[in-house]
Amino acid sequence: MKKRVAPRVLGAVRGHRRIICVTASAALLVPLLIDRSADTGSPPDQRLQDDYTAAADEYHVPRNVLMGVSYLQSRWDSHPGAPSVVGGYGPMHLVDTRKAPAPEAPHDPARPSAAAAGPPDQHADTPDKPAAHSADLQRAAILTGLPAAQLRTDDAANVRGGAALLAATQRQLGKPLSANASDWWEAVARFPGTTDKVSAAIYANDVFDVIRRGAQRITDAGQHVTLTASPGVRPHAPAAPGGSRPKNVECPPELSCSWLGAPYVRIDDDAYGNHDLADRPKDQRIDYIVIHDTEAPLASMLLTIQNPEEASWHYSVRSSDGHVTQHIKTKDAAWHSGSQFVNARSIGVEHEGFLRHPDAWYTEQMYRSSARLVRYLAKKYQVPLDRQHIFGHDNVPAPTEDSIPDMHDDPGPFWDWRHYFDLLGAPLRATAGPDSDVVMILPDYGKHKPRFTGCAKGGVPCAPHGSSAVRLRSEPADDAPLIQDPGRRPDGEDSTEDVNDLGSRVSAGQTFAVAGRSGDWTAIWFQGHKAWFRNPKSQPTAVGARGRVVTPKEGVKEISVFGRALPEKDAYPEGVDEQPEAPLPYSLRAGQRYVTQSRVLGSYIDRSSFGDSPAPVVKGQEAYYEIQFDHRLAYVRASDVDVVDPPAAAGPGHPAAAPRP
């Protein structure tokens, strides 16, 4: 049977300011110019904490309100004067629309640019246009009497600008500059400038949730910042209103969502686009949710999703404010992952951004909206909240050997998986002692800054940045060669430190069986070999974990590893061609162990023809275990392996999780 391949469609995708009139005299809100020489001798790493205190006192804004807003804006990070995608600067993310937004990443020739594709469809305007901004940097400059350039680059000035804006908004609302945080709910809701009432209410409630719970972290500039919990603080406004939304949209009620549909149309006799009709979960269980970044501005992606000759995905999440747009019903299968097997079992969520420029694109509001969406979908379809079921495009297994070099690498090493799972309500943490036989990769994102190259130009070092990725070496030494991936680089080239090179690294939340320890180094079984990573007790990059592992049956020297779980030969009905087994160019050898969290039955769906109803799912009886084999997932036949519950060293007590049946 002829294999239909639409152009890179099987998942290869990456592929007005609102000025508020201030009723109070601006002169009442203008402080003296900032003079850092008056610092009181606080430790250098606590100056930002002092800046919040000083600004809150000066503008009569409760400090916990100022810090809560700043946390939602930037998690207190300064991004060293670099603008976000909408031109936001500093810990308060004050938006300067007069300055150019974040640097552009190289254009993907496989995807049409917004200019080349022509003007966007009118229906795309709402999901494509971010909100106006009350957090206006130019207005903050007027209120503070400080130069705009200072607010862009100086954290203290930026924080004072945010305080001045909050105070001005409170006065405009006719409210006193109260010391009670709850009195500031409406001013907080207006801070991001959104005209959508649902989004504004979500934002304000998130700020007050941070205030109630408290927070602390070390910022990207090394500042130690702590917001003490205020459990008695409650907003005066009601919960976010339900609002009106298109009937097609599948989103949690508290999230602002819109619809921009992807076409299911015939292109010619042998091809169609750009997704598959299905009846999930009735005909195929949804096992996975795949996290992508767009590697293109959202405007371009909204044109791509409407092109039947392009790839597709279920949801897009906007960087500036976290607005969600749905494109395909979750019962249908999008072409988003590079693997038809994964597409059939997954939901794809794209996030506007470039993995090389995380500070410009991976915003806190985007993280929170995405987590709300994924938590809702995971509950609806009973998808476990772990890293073998919620994973990146860079963790999708290649279905065949020849597809390995073409698999994608987003959302990249700067996606904060630890923070994301906190927002999902399933925090990544130690579940066993430090000497356990299984470890979870879990570096401290803010402190862990491995060297990367290629963010701006090939071979050029990236600016130091927090990362979820941990690099692997062939021996326990910093100068030992990096682990090599013969599938990714079949020409024999070495792995590199390039930001897009996945060959020698693992990521936060992934779990592996321990293969050895030597001083500050830990070895794991990785792609058929021992792979070493630095794991000092003073700043660990992995923690003890519990989990079941698979190992070849006794007497078996090695077994095959697969990128998909296919049915056995007898399961294929007449008229459906049996799919080739296609093992990957790796093996799992006697004595090696790999963590499993799922047991699946082989399946296949013939997507060779256009139709008005879903193609039938070929379901086999051959069972497979999904394993964390390297930076990507893989599958091994259940008949080839034994499942073992390794003993856990003394530590936090959690029962071993059985693989999902």
pLDDT surpassing 50 at residue 561: yes
Residue 3 confidence (pLDDT): 34
CA distance readout (Å), 54 to 51, 148, 242, 641: 5, 20, 38, 62
Average pLDDT for 511-516? 98
pLDDT band at 195 (very low <50, low <70, confident <90, very high): confident
pLDDT tens digits for 286-342? 999 999 999 999 999 999 999 999 999 999 999 988 999 999 999 999 999 999 999
Helix 47-59 vs helix 63-74: crossing angle, to nearest 10: 120
Residue 35 confidence (pLDDT): 45
Place of tokens 């996945």: 502
Share of the chain above pLDDT 70, in %: 85
Residue 243 confidence (pLDDT): 55
pLDDT tens digits for 265-292? 999 887 999 999 999 999 999 999 999 9
Q: Are 105 and 293 in contact (CB under 8 A)?
A: no
pLDDT surpassing 70 at residue 8: no
pLDDT band at 557 (very low <50, low <70, confident <90, very high): very high
Average pLDDT for 455-477? 96
Residue 24 confidence (pLDDT): 35
Judge whether 560 lies within some domain.
yes
Residue 99 confidence (pLDDT): 67
Judge whether 68 lies within some domain.
yes
List the structure tokens of 380: 């609806």
List the structure tokens of 121: 């469809």
Judge whether 588 lies within some domain.
yes
Judge whether 213 lies within some domain.
yes
Residue 15 confidence (pLDDT): 35
Number of domains in the chain: 2
Lowest-confidence region among 88-92, 131-135, 464-468: 131-135
pLDDT band at 108 (very low <50, low <70, confident <90, very high): very low
Lowest-confidence region among 10-14, 39-43, 461-465: 10-14
pLDDT surpassing 80 at residue 236: no
The last residue of a domain, from among 164, 197, 227: 227
Rounded to the nearest integer, the mean pLDDT of the chain is 87
The SS3 call for residue 243 is coil
d(CA 648, CA 440): 13
pLDDT surpassing 70 at residue 113: no
Residue 13 confidence (pLDDT): 34
pLDDT band at 247 (very low <50, low <70, confident <90, very high): confident
Q: Are 337 and 11 in contact (CB under 8 A)?
A: yes
d(CA 345, CA 113): 30
The SS3 call for residue 618 is strand
CATH code (residue 157): 1.10.530.10
Residue 4 confidence (pLDDT): 34
Domain that holds residue 626: 549-644
d(CA 313, CA 352): 13
Residue 116 confidence (pLDDT): 34
Widest pairwise Cα distance in the chain: 84
List the structure tokens of 110: 């496989």
Judge whether 9 lies within some domain.
no
Q: Are 411 and 292 in contact (CB under 8 A)?
A: yes
Judge whether 541 lies within some domain.
no
Lowest-confidence region among 9-18, 152-161, 271-280, 435-444: 9-18
pLDDT tens digits for 31-71? 333 444 345 567 999 999 999 999 999 999 999 999 999 99
pLDDT surpassing 80 at residue 27: no
More confident residue, 35 or 647: 647
Average pLDDT for 436-449? 96
Residue 39 confidence (pLDDT): 52
Judge whether 40 lies within some domain.
yes
Average pLDDT for 462-488? 96
Judge whether 356 lies within some domain.
no
Pairing of strands 315-317, 438-441: unpaired
Which of 32-41, 226-235, 350-359 tops mean pLDDT? 350-359
Residue 132 confidence (pLDDT): 52
